[in-house]
Structure 1
Amino acid sequence: MNTTTKPYLTGHYTPVADEVTATELTVEGALPPELTGRLIRNGHNPKPGVTPTHWFKGSGMVHGIRLREGRAEWYRNRWVHTPALDGAPYMTEQGPDLTASTAGTHVIEHAGRLLALCEANLPFELTPELETVGAYDFGGRLRSAMTAHPKEDPQTGELHFFGSSPFPPFLTYYVADAKGEITDSAEVPGATASLKHDFAVTRRHVVFIEGNVTFDPAEHSGIPYAWSDGQPARIGVMPRGADGARHVRWYSIEPGSLLHVSNAYEDGQGRIVLEGPTVDREGFRLSWNWWVGAPGRGSEPASRSYTRRWVIDPADGTVAEQIVDDLPVEFPTLNEAYLGSENRYQYAISFPDEKGFGGYGVVKYDRTTGARRIRQVGDSRMPSEAVFVPAAHATCEDDGYLLTVVSDLKQDASQLLVLDASGLEQVAAVHLPHRVPAGVHGSWIPDHL
């Protein structure tokens, strides 16, 4: 019986205690045959008896669902077996141990390698069956931590990513080619110790976001970051290319904090359009208190997270910004073929507001008409980040499916829901062998990669 008062260890976030494997899962409806591959999702799941001081410090556990031509072949969950899982400290007498990772934020595949990610550490390679191989440093070329939100260019297959640090050099940018070899790296001048969790890549630029949350050694939750009114909020725009870092330009923006980018692109006037859910000072306070289990928290960590749009005009050096929706959302996604280009549709997960009103749902935005559609998933049910998978022979941007794992507290169970990305209607549901805790990010990995 779980008696903890930490919100990130209760309800939908209650960890599971075992690694299991189940085969030939029950399917309701009909799985589209093009869904042949693996959905793999990561999240924080401390071992039994371990109570981390912050949600982000919980050890990573990956959950995988294998689909093949209309069948759900297997489900399995595995801890990412890093030194931190067995109690190794991040800080040592020699400095940070980049292998002592929770590895619990994201999981991607690039150039045939499956990597579990946490932004303070090196990636950890996994087998296709989710067993841990070990820390991966791109053949010694990765000399810093790696963001949990790399961007794969849909046209070139390059992987763009960065490493950030509370100490100089604050920001290092990397590019790995489609074969997984790092071909470019550079320190980005002008960066600060501001928390940089995500970033954006357009066809011609790399876009970094520095908000008001910055390194603070006085914060003792184990994650030494805090809101600072003295930390300028800024957007850094850097041309893509070998010497782009020499030409980075920083633009001041209104105070706030962004964790996840929806997308960014250059419009017809050469301006850079960037969007993503953000929180203000009070929103960050409510989120942080939830993350550490302190009094005065909101009902959910995303209870005041509203989608914001920035339009950066390099010609006159200005930034126009506005909140474009008043629904609390997080985990924005899109059809990845449009990453870095202008997209019409994007998706997110809705959350109750700071007073607990509203429910969980999968949200679809039409950026052309301004329409918003929500599919509620039901009482005591919480969906995970909705991963877009294109349909076979797709002819339009939203011709595809959304895959989301739903935690059901009343049934103490979980399902993988397959939704039509066009209208959000349910196509199929896969019953999983146990409840999957609410997690963070994941990827669809088709067999043809």
Structure 2
Amino acid sequence: EGQKLLILNSLNHTYKSQTWTDSQYNWKLTGYIILVGMAYAMLLLFLWRYRKDIFSNFRKLFFIFFNVGLIVTLTATVVNINVEYIYVVPVCILPLVLKAFFDARLGLFTHVVTIFILSFIVPNSDEYLFLQMMSGIVTILSGKEIYKRANLFLTVAQIIGVYFISYFAFYAINQGGIIGWEWGRLGYFVLCGLAMLFVWPLIYIFEKIFGLVSDVSLLELSDTNSRLLKELSNKAPGTFHHSLNVANIAETIANEIGANAMLVRVGALYHDIGKMKNPTYFTENQGSGINPHNDLDPEDSARIIIDHTINGIEIARKYNLPDRIIDFIRTHHGDSLVYYFYSKAKEDNPDVDKDSFRYPGPRPFSQETAILMISDSVEAASKSLKNPTSIKIDNLVDKIIEGQVDSGQFLNANITFKQIELIKAVIKKKLASIYHVRIEYPE
């Protein structure tokens, strides 16, 4: 009887212990879920507050969280297989990828949130947190223009260097010396650095899956020997030369105000490809001096001019240009008026429909598309200047940009009045250098 009671009491104690352990596990799991949820909530809050265009785009939003989940899953898998290999996982590839598709600030913030989540998974979380945080910061600071091979290799070398120095410091703190130094750990750091080189094919894969555009693809599109730009230079040489000038002006402006210079340059190169369909109807391609508009009604002439944006979109889709580039074709005239032909039509019919002489839009909706609209209009208008002087250039630039502001073309673009004034100054200086204008001094 006594033995049976002892056994029953033992079983009862084991059952209660097991029940208590399950309860503890559930509470622990709940705590982890809350903390991870808070981390994701902070990332969402950042996107909602500072990157509304990404927050409102499900594809981009999913892409960011997919990458975070990928890094977390990969690290958790490695921890379960062999915790010694956690430093082989190229965690710093995350900010590098996000910087290539978006910007440095988003890349760093997402990296920090991801490291906080990973600190719940890995052992020695304080050491891991510091190493990966420092490496992520170095990645963002040094990972400029990763489409250049030398820059990527330099970034990898710096990341490995940060790992080495940080590990040495932590080992010295924990061990009180460097006796028993684990050389194998240093090999893991090197492997992690080499794995970072996988960022190039990874970016290419992401572009195809998510339909996004990185700086790597923009560099390829900026090649003037590409098939489409070659065709433009053959069919509409004047337009091609105009596009090159606009690209140079727009790139200078973008660098000055902190916009995406590579994106706006590529957008400028392709913005007028629709003129290939009827090249001689545009003044820059009328080398013979014959103007076919002389034989057309103003309405027909305006329709041909306006249609170059629609034709450009069709050609761009035929050549599989990314949507971000097509946006420049679609918006570079906004919903502005083809004023010359509208005035001509109004002479014959004062009640002519004004809207039939408008571009379909939409208006520019980013800094880059606004920059292109300004650069395109000013460069085209500057060709009409006879004996250009600095005063004439200044007046022309002020007149065109102020007209675009007054007509509300930049209401949807994330651009300030201060930036517009800076753009004016940059364009005036750029046009003065193009036309070799000297400052006029009084005699």
User: Structures share a fold, TM > 0.5?
Assistant: no
Task: Name which structure has the greater RCO, CA cutoff 8 Å, separation 6+.
Answer: 1
Higher helix share: 2
TM-score, normalising length: structure 1: 0.22
TM-score, normalising length: structure 2: 0.22
Higher strand share: 1
Which of 1 and 2 has greater Rg? Answer: 2
